[in-house]
Amino acid sequence: MKFKILLIAFLLSTLTSSSSSSSSSSSSSQSSSEESNIISRFQQYLQIKTDQPTPNYTQSTIFLTNQAKSLSLQSQTIEFVSGKPLILIKWEGTNPELSSIMLYSHTDVVPAEHDKWVHHPFEAHLDSDGRIYARGSQDMKCVGLQYLEAVRRLKGWGFQPKRNVYVLFAPDEEIGGHDGAEKFSLSEVFRGLNVGIVLDEGLASPDEHYRAFYAERSPWWLVIKAVGAPGHGSKLYDNSAMENLLKSIEIIRRYRASQFDLIKAGLKADGDVVSINMAFLKAGTPSPTTGYVMNLQPSEAEAGFDIRVPPTADTESLERRIAEEWAPSWRNMSFRLGQFQQKVSVYDASGKPVITKTDSSNPWWALLENAVQEAGGKLGKPEIFPASTDARYFRNLGLPAIGFSPMANTPILLHDHNEYLHKDEYLKGIKIYESIIKAYASFDEHGSDGRSKDEL
């Protein structure tokens, strides 16, 4: 294990007296100055330029470490790869024997094209309607700070968790998470935390229902290649490389349409179908003068596809389909399983589909549902996340992980221009997390508080 703990800072109660006096009065109302402090902390985090490919993790680490300090919580900075810190903040439970709760977020964001935005993506401008514009406002600096704000308020009321609560900020999710969440999930440090449930990111919801995700689709990046006899551009003949490839593309397009139709008909959600989109087409004989030679049918042609496979799919039949219909050797198409540029398995280490249960076998799901409801939120049907998140590293270990970003009545703008979150949605989300963290941190399956798993 290559990790190295850079600094373990135990930052203990120095500042509690000032913060506890104001918050004890009421659990439902918030003073407007408290509110503006919350928004201003969110803006400060958004203003830190943690955009790939050169995120300033130095600055985000200072900011997050200071947040932990202001909460009188221990924090440690862990680096598996130099310059790629994870910040682990611990709120100690009264019964640390119980499995712990991990509140996960990533600190990095995707790049932004400044000139396509109405407000600068790292200014965190709050407009007169209450929208906060910034890269990361939805994905997912909101969630990271909402966890901390929820902890701040719970602490303010004197709430004591039974379980250890960990708030984790990880780097590099947007470039695959290999030097962040992946290495962390396989580390001794992580094993030592005895995590029982992970919360990770979800997606905004344009309607009033929050969305929660219990699994995600696996990327399969497929390149198929056709060969065929070359010939004069004027000649009609069978089995040219182009014709062979186009036959495959037609078949793939029909399959794509059949999957898309299920979504259009409202029968399936985005994450429930196999999606397939062409990422590149490569063929033709280059010419230094005209771009391509026009009177020649080339002997090779290639196409690349981004395929996303839900863990509920019959992957064996999909693989057979690829080998027999999309890239059949009898049509001079080459394809071997090894030719996937990337093929993430839909099965975990023990061979089970990578799915977090949303039935009575998983008490964390029912707790989340109840907690959202108790805080006045509505939760939609659990879904499969259409793309990849770091939750897969934890699910691969057999741990339950739920993707959830409390943003209702909000257009989905992650990775888009003009990403924003309304401040009222942000504040509402904090209340939702208060409710969830309280429920999770109080949960004791052995029923010492009178509530057993069966009663949930």
Ligand X SMILES: *[C@@H]1O[C@H](CO)[C@@H](O)[C@H](O)[C@H]1NC(C)=O
C-alpha distance from residue 58 to each of 61, 88, 244 (Å): 5, 15, 53
Contact indicator for 363, 453 with CB cutoff of 8 Å: yes
Amino acid letter for position 319: E
Nearer to ligand X, 76 or 248 (CB): 248
Nearer to ligand X, 171 or 228 (CB): 228
Rounded to a whole number of angstroms, the minimum distance from the CB of residue 127 to ligand X is 26
Contact pick of 239, 258, 287, 341 for ligand X (by CB under 6 A) = 239
Nearer to ligand X, 230 or 447 (CB): 230
Rounded to a whole number of angstroms, the minimum distance from the CB of residue 248 to ligand X is 12
| Alpha helices (runs of H) in 71-212, residue ranges in sequence order | 141-156, 183-185, 188-193
Of the residues 79, 139, 173, 390, only one is catalytic, namely 173
Nearer to ligand X, 28 or 82 (CB): 82
How far apart are the C-alpha atoms of 272 and 262, rounded to whole Å? 9
Contact indicator for 266, 255 with CB cutoff of 8 Å: no
How far apart are the C-alpha atoms of 275 and 307, rounded to whole Å? 6
CA nearest to 112, candidates 422, 414, 421: 414
**Structure tokens, 434:** 């208060």
Q: Residue 283 CA to chain centroid, in angstroms?
A: 35
331 binds, among ligand X, Zn ion, none (CB under 5 to 8 A by kind): ligand X
**Contact flags string 185-214 toward Zn ion, x per CB under 5 A:** ----------------x-------------
79 binds, among ligand X, Zn ion, none (CB under 5 to 8 A by kind): none
Strand bridging mode 420-422 / 131-133 = antiparallel
**Structure tokens, 334:** 């080459």
Rounded to a whole number of angstroms, the minimum distance from the CB of residue 289 to ligand X is 27
Task: By CB under 6 A, tell whether 228 contacts ligand X.
Answer: yes
Rounded to a whole number of angstroms, the minimum distance from the CB of residue 10 to ligand X is 23
- 173 included as an active-site residue: yes
How far apart are the C-alpha atoms of 173 and 282, rounded to whole Å? 30
Task: By CB under 6 A, tell whether 331 contacts ligand X.
Answer: yes
199 binds, among Zn ion, ligand X, none (CB under 5 to 8 A by kind): none
**To which residue do tokens 């998470």 refer?**
177
Rounded to a whole number of angstroms, the minimum distance from the CB of residue 12 to ligand X is 25
140 binds, among Zn ion, ligand X, none (CB under 5 to 8 A by kind): Zn ion
How far apart are the C-alpha atoms of 236 and 234, rounded to whole Å? 7
Task: By CB under 6 A, tell whether 21 contacts ligand X.
Answer: no
- 182 included as an active-site residue: no
Contact pick of 50, 65, 244, 410 for ligand X (by CB under 6 A) = 244
How far apart are the C-alpha atoms of 10 and 370, rounded to whole Å? 34
Q: Residue 447 CA to chain centroid, in angstroms?
A: 33
227 binds, among ligand X, Zn ion, none (CB under 5 to 8 A by kind): ligand X
**Contact flags string 48-87 toward ligand X, x per CB under 6 A:** --------x-xx----------------------------
Nearer to Zn ion, 161 or 180 (CB): 180
Q: Report the C-alpha dihedral over residues 66, 71, 74, 80, rounded to 10 degrees.
A: -50
Rounded to a whole number of angstroms, the minimum distance from the CB of residue 417 to ligand X is 23
362 binds, among Zn ion, ligand X, none (CB under 5 to 8 A by kind): none
C-alpha distance from residue 135 to each of 62, 212, 437 (Å): 19, 22, 26
Nearer to ligand X, 58 or 66 (CB): 58
**Contact flags string 114-143 toward Zn ion, x per CB under 5 A:** -------------------------xx---
**Contact flags string 271-310 toward ligand X, x per CB under 6 A:** ----------------------------------------
C-alpha distance from residue 225 to each of 66, 86, 259, 405 (Å): 54, 41, 24, 40
The full DSSP string for 349-396 is TTSSBSB---STT-HHHHHHHHHHHHTT-EE---EEESS--THHHHHT
Strand order in the sheet with 131-133: 125-126, 131-133, 420-422
Nearer to ligand X, 52 or 72 (CB): 52
How far apart are the C-alpha atoms of 243 and 139, rounded to whole Å? 43
Nearer to Zn ion, 139 or 300 (CB): 139
How far apart are the C-alpha atoms of 361 and 80, rounded to whole Å? 34
Rounded to a whole number of angstroms, the minimum distance from the CB of residue 229 to ligand X is 4
Q: Which residue's beta carbon is nearest to the bound Zn ion?
A: 139
Of the residues 51, 79, 108, 434, only one is catalytic, namely 108
Site of interaction with ligand X (CB under 6 A): 56, 58-59, 227-229, 239, 244, 331-332
Site of interaction with Zn ion (CB under 5 A): 139-140, 201
User: Looking at the annotation, which residues are catalytic?
Assistant: 108, 173
